[in-house]
Amino acid sequence: MHHASKMIFVTFEKEGIHRYPDAPEAVDFLRHDHRHIFQFKIWIEVFTNERDIEFIMFKRWLEGLYAGGELQLDARSCETISDELYEQIRTEHPGREIWIEVSEDGENGSFARYQK
């Protein structure tokens, strides 16, 4: 028998508007509201090989957290979005390692590993 930490992952994307008020002068255009397609990839620890957490149901639940048109993210960064999402997942699925990637247009973003 193999002993491994096992994760599943799901992906989804959502249109959103945000800004970076303290952007450096070289990218001062980021200080104003601008649009991205925020792309999410979420890994979550599972304890069995038989759909401990079912992919489609997990993805639908996550997408439901962001229902209702484009996201109005104000000055929230990818890192902040990740932390807020983690708190919601942790509440629904406690005691699991969770990794979250949030990117802007699949080009730049953040990655965080949240321990149990």
Q: Is 25 exposed, middle or buried (0-12, 13-18, 19+ CB in 10 A)?
A: exposed
Give residue-wise pLDDT tens across range 15-74.
999 999 999 999 999 999 999 999 999 999 999 989 899 999 999 999 999 998 999 999
| Tens digit of each residue's pLDDT (9 = 90 or more) over 72-100 | 999 999 999 999 999 999 999 999 999 99
Contact of 72 with 17, CB cutoff 8 Å: yes
Question: What span, in angstroms and rounded, lies between the C-alpha atoms of 101 and 111?
Answer: 4
